[in-house]
Homo-oligomer: A and B are copies of this chain.
């Protein structure tokens, strides 16, 4: 049910320091910490002595010490010290996981360790590249990670779930163009010309004047989502007058029915405005919690019905989520058929050009 041979995000980089950080990913309990050199390492959160979580303990000189009997393990998972004895048992090893740090994120490889190539890390440079500023956060959702991807690929839900902030009728009413890129990315582009601004957009431009709005939902399997969100006042030139943001939504499975939602809202304007960060943090948190409420209910119902396929009755806006699920299934099938197969990331967006209205007829 999970793709394994790919990098997953564990946490924002600033969350990991020399103390133990515990998180379950793809049903596996893991601890992470920074060694004395600052490198992030990951071990299974399980002492091979009496199976107590190592996260009961602490780090000592860059090693982890179990909280029960004090056995220590180094960054390679080898037992380094047993209290009261000079020899350490060689069999007492802890499983390690390849880890990388990039784009202000900590990445982990849960599949075949030999295949862990840092060139396979998706490009999410908006979280730390010069010229960009990202407000970041974390939420825990008690639902299947795929439901969150589905939700992000059909933004018509904004009209209903987020009607007090970023949604109004224009979102659901406007057609979207769905495109599959390579074997890993789906892109759903919606233009909303000459519409009333939803509440948060009115607030952003300081008035209720009509806007040309666009949004692009981009999904890369298994759980990377970026939503390009842009608008400009009606009658102005999009290239010079738009305001644009790129929320990054990283969905990492915790278990079959719970997920980590690691997010960063990247912008390329007012980079040093800390007050703006604070406002965005609470808006985004509030908005994603609206999603959480409905997705957790959906998960409970699907579980009760033994996980039937969705949608059961398809509508036009299902095109994106259905395509996304297909890519994810192919990715999982690919590594099932060939355990050495790893999916290659695809660039999600181009920083050099402003998104323009599509000319082709909306599908």
Contacts and interface: CB of A to CB of B under 8 A. Distances in A.
Contacts of A69: 154, 156-157, 160, 172, 315, 317
A294 interface: yes
A302 B83 contact: no
Contact of A311 (B50, B169, B294, B308): B50
Interface of A: 46, 48-53, 56-57, 65-71, 79, 82-85, 89, 91-92, 150, 154, 156-157, 159-161, 169, 172-175, 294, 297-298, 301-302, 305, 308, 310-318
B150 A50 contact: yes
A154 B79 CA distance: 19
16 contacts: A48-B313, A50-B298, A51-B301, A51-B310, A52-B297, A67-B160, A67-B161, A68-B157, A68-B160, A68-B294, A69-B154, A69-B156, A69-B172, A69-B315, A70-B156, A83-B159
Contact of A49 (B67, B89, B305, B311): B311
A160 B57 contact: yes
Contacts of A48: 312-313
A314 B91 CA distance: 9
A160 B66 contact: yes
A91 B313 CA distance: 7
A185 to B, nearest CB: 22
Contact of A83 (B46, B83, B173, B301): B173
A89 B67 CA distance: 58
Q: How many copies does the complex hold?
A: 3
Contacts of A161: 67-68
A312 B82 contact: no
A294 B67 contact: yes
Contacts of A298: 50-52, 68
A311 B302 CA distance: 38
A51 B312 CA distance: 8
Contacts of A175: 84
A53 B173 contact: no
A310 B50 CA distance: 5
B156 A315 contact: no
Contacts of A91: 313
B172 A70 contact: yes
Contacts of A49: 310-315, 318
A321 B66 CA distance: 18
A157 to B, nearest CB: 5
Given A84-B175, A294-B56, A71 B315 contact: yes
Given A68-B157, A172-B69, A172-B83, A89 B313 contact: yes
Nearest to A46: B301
